[in-house]
Amino acid sequence: MSMINFLYKEKHDKLIEELVAQDYLILKLDSTGIIEIEELYRKMTKVFPIGIPLSGNVHWDAFLDSCWEGLTEQPKKKIAFIWLGSEAILGEKLSDYVAILTILIDLSRMLTNESPGGYEFSSFILGDQENYR
């Protein structure tokens, strides 16, 4: 699997079925309708296991470090992040959307290359627009 995979949302159930069969830890975020980055950030801190406590303010570097620590403490080595409803942020806050994708890529690289134990981290961005098909 790629670091980031874009899929049509109708593939959600099949994706979950495949990930469960392969014994993935599944982190699922539904941000449908969220356009404020602060609200999205709060939801993300509830979905990802957090290692280092966060202040609550949007700080992507701290979030990345905390997620990396939290994920390396998980017993499962295969981790999948599923993001539903990303279109709202994409349409309203492109720079924040790009920042989040960058974090997901960095998490994948850090877990794969810098963490002992051979982690695998894949992200799945599910949407309902034509370009997700």
User: Tell me: the pLDDT tens digits for 64-114?
Assistant: 999 999 999 999 999 999 999 998 888 888 999 999 999 999 999 999 887
Alpha helices in 1-133 (DSSP H): 12-21, 37-47, 60-72, 87-92, 94-109
pLDDT of residue 7: 93
pLDDT of residue 40: 93
pLDDT of residue 76: 94
pLDDT of residue 82: 97
How many domains does the chain divide into? 1
**Half-sphere exposure in the Cβ direction for 40 (13 Å, CA):** 24
* Domain boundaries, position 51: 4-127
Per-residue pLDDT band at 24 (split at 50, 70, 90): very high
- Residue 21 burial (C-beta neighbours within 10 Å; 0-12, 13-18, 19+): exposed
Per-residue pLDDT band at 2 (split at 50, 70, 90): low
* Residue 83 within any structural domain of the chain: yes
* Residue 38 within any structural domain of the chain: yes
* Residue 100 within any structural domain of the chain: yes
Q: What whole-number distance in Å separates Cα of residue 47 and Cα of residue 59?
A: 16
* Residue 53 within any structural domain of the chain: yes
* Residue 133 within any structural domain of the chain: no
Q: What whole-number distance in Å separates Cα of residue 28 and Cα of residue 124?
A: 9
Closest CA to 22 of 114, 120, 107: 120
Region for 9 from its dihedrals, namely left if φ exceeds 0, alpha if ψ lies in -120 to 50, beta otherwise: alpha
Q: What whole-number distance in Å separates Cα of residue 34 and Cα of residue 80?
A: 22
* Residue 50 within any structural domain of the chain: yes
Give me the percent of the chain exceeding a pLDDT of 70.
Answer: 98
Quote the distance between the C-alpha of residue 22 and its chain's center. Answer: 18
Q: For residue 57, give the H/E element and its range.
A: none
